[in-house]
Amino acid sequence: MFNEAMSAIQAGDRPRARDLLTRLLKIGQDNPDYWVWMSAVVETSKERTFCLKEALRLNPQHAAARRGLILMGSLPPEESLVLPARYQKRNWQAKASALEGGEQSKAVPKSQFALMGVALVVVLGLIAFAFFGAQRQFMRRTSAPIIFIPSDTPAPTVETTPTALQILSGSPTPLWMILKATYTPTPLYINTPHSSSEAYRIGLRYFGRQDWKNALTYFKQAATAEPTAPDIEYYLGEIHRAQGNYPQALQSYNGVIKDTPGFAPAYLGRARVTLALNEKNVESALIDLQTAIEKDGSYGEAYLGLAELYLQTGENGQALEALEQAEIRMPESPLVFLYRAEAYLALKDAGQALENARRANQLDVTLLPAYRLIGQVLQSNGDLAGSISPLNVYVTYQPDDAQAWAMLANAYLDQKNARDGLKALDQSLRLDNRQKEAYLLRAQLLLDQDKAESALNDFKAASRLDATSYEASLGIGKALMAMKYPGDAYMQFERTKALAQDELQNAEVIFWRAQSLEKLGQLEVAQRDYKALTTLPAGSVNAEWVEYAKERLAAMALLTPSPKPKTATPTITVTFTRQPTKTKAPTATRQPTRTSTPSKTPLPTKTPVPASPTPTR
């Protein structure tokens, strides 16, 4: 591949050369020579400087990289790197010398030829290109559809899921470095030539990389030169929207609509900002989206925005209709298939949801929401093991999604991987401490690990979030039992009984209440609960609970004394403490000393025994 890249450079085919060098850098980004050669096929001095600095960072002694940076003015001159004058003769000079004198020039050592070749590479590095820099920014794209700069390469065929992920130096490697292809962005809606073409062109390049800060700088320059250009003002609005500066974005969109009412993208941008400011602004956003479609019926992005709105409002059937229109206009858009998968998942059609999510992933392997959605659909199908890989990819690059961590934890625990499951739950709850299900999941995991006190705290947290939660209430009782507070546990099970929603939950309460009664020594009442379990219908009780109840009944039968006259059912009085406290060990009491004090009752005197006729032995 390297030889092919060199051949492409020699042939002047820079697009092919940079494509080959990009592939080489994906598999060998630590090779400084690749970076130096890449500097020969980029378009701008900034990109050339970046490539040479990368090479120098990897190898501070790299002579070619240093020479290049000196030529660029980024480093001061170094005398040691200047080529001797006798080796600076051009080819035509050498040939002329040989022809004139008829003498053959002296051979130059191979090492010096190599040095001259490297210098030539640096000179070639003064040509321009922006492709490589754009590739390094693909992982910054958001899930919302933004207008991108067209790619120079056709859409690739890729695998659905990466085979492995590498985490380097504590931060994730960009997906385009790991996977076998990169994303082909959506074409620009408009790309009008401008008098300020340089600022506009550079701004577009930064916009495509999602380098919002630099894009804003150059588009402001372009806007100063052409204040009435609608597309420049529109791009300023898009940049402000991407930065979360919604009021400024709204001002830009309104300005475009006022001056150029037929410019469709401005209505789409305003609809998205309107919803971002207040998700209840559905009606006004819908009007803007419909207006964008009226202004330009071929504008596929407007149909995508309409589908987004319908998904947000739960109108999944209408979302699918809008996506059909979007696909006609944007047949290879990954977002069409991503939104379609979301709609089908909401409609409980897991098969169609999975098929469309995988298609979105194939079209754009850097579209992170597709990985999340694939994992979610697989879990809805019961394939928790299969969801681990796509969810891992997603959280590696989107570590702030609490729900995704919770899904990953659920998958790990299904595979009996308690260690990774607990880590995922910890991360999820650090990000969002309002997740009842995550608290319940972690509490049960801690209880299984004999960490009853920590489990109790999590069960209580879940109960605070949902006071009607049967699972949280029962869990509190189970944790109290594990902490050896059967009285408190009994009172908790009594409260839980009112939250049971079916016969199985009711049987579970009886099962645990019987155990607390047995621990309290209330054997008669415990026997009554155990017997009740054994008489329940098979479908309304767990078979393991029944077996346990029979074992305890048999064991208690041996301890129960002979029957006594029937009395009223004993009333159980238990003091419930909110926070069970551990009782200190009792202080040892000194043994009382014996005294010689005489008893108050006098000892009886011995009565003489009458003589017996026969002696006793």
Residue 274 included in any domain: no
Please tell me whether residues 30 and 54 are part of one structural domain: yes
**Per-residue pLDDT at 9:** 80
Please tell me whether residues 443 and 473 are part of one structural domain: yes
Please tell me whether residues 438 and 543 are part of one structural domain: no
Residue 482 included in any domain: yes
CB-CB contact of 236 with 252 (8 Å): yes
Please tell me whether residues 21 and 82 are part of one structural domain: yes
Could you give the count of Cα atoms lying within 13 Å of 169 in the half-sphere of its Cβ? 2
Residue 332 included in any domain: no
Residue 455 included in any domain: yes
**Per-residue pLDDT at 192:** 58
Please tell me whether residues 32 and 130 are part of one structural domain: yes
**Per-residue pLDDT at 566:** 52
Please tell me whether residues 524 and 456 are part of one structural domain: no
State how many domains the chain has.
4
Residue 98 token pair: 């040989």
The H or E element that residue 168 is part of is: strand 167-168
Please tell me whether residues 45 and 128 are part of one structural domain: yes
Please tell me whether residues 91 and 121 are part of one structural domain: yes
**Spans in the chain with pLDDT lower than 70:** 26, 77-197, 559-617
Q: Which residues contact 499 (CB under 8 A, 6 or more apart)?
A: 468, 469, 470, 473, 505
Residue 600 included in any domain: no
* Amino acid identity, position 578: R
Q: What is the CATH number of the domain that holds 48?
A: 1.25.40
Residue 26 included in any domain: yes
Residue 601 included in any domain: no
The H or E element that residue 267 is part of is: helix 264-277
CB-CB contact of 354 with 370 (8 Å): no
Please tell me whether residues 76 and 7 are part of one structural domain: yes
Residue 371 included in any domain: yes
**Per-residue pLDDT at 51:** 83
Question: Could you list the residue range(s) of the whole structural domain that residue 91 is in?
Answer: 2-100+108-136
Q: Tell me, letter by letter, the H, E, C secondary structure of 146-158.
A: CCCCCCCCCCCCC
Please tell me whether residues 495 and 515 are part of one structural domain: no
Strands 167-168 and 171-172: antiparallel
Please tell me whether residues 131 and 9 are part of one structural domain: yes
**Per-residue pLDDT at 616:** 38
Q: In angstroms, rounded to a whole number, what is the distance separating the alpha carbons of residues 53 and 74?
A: 9
**Per-residue pLDDT at 41:** 82
Q: What is the CATH number of the domain that holds 478?
A: 1.25.40.10
Instruction: Please state, as a whole number, how many other Cβ atoms lie within 10 Å of the Cβ of residue 394.
Output: 24
- At which residue do the structure tokens 């620009």 appear? 188
Please tell me whether residues 447 and 553 are part of one structural domain: no
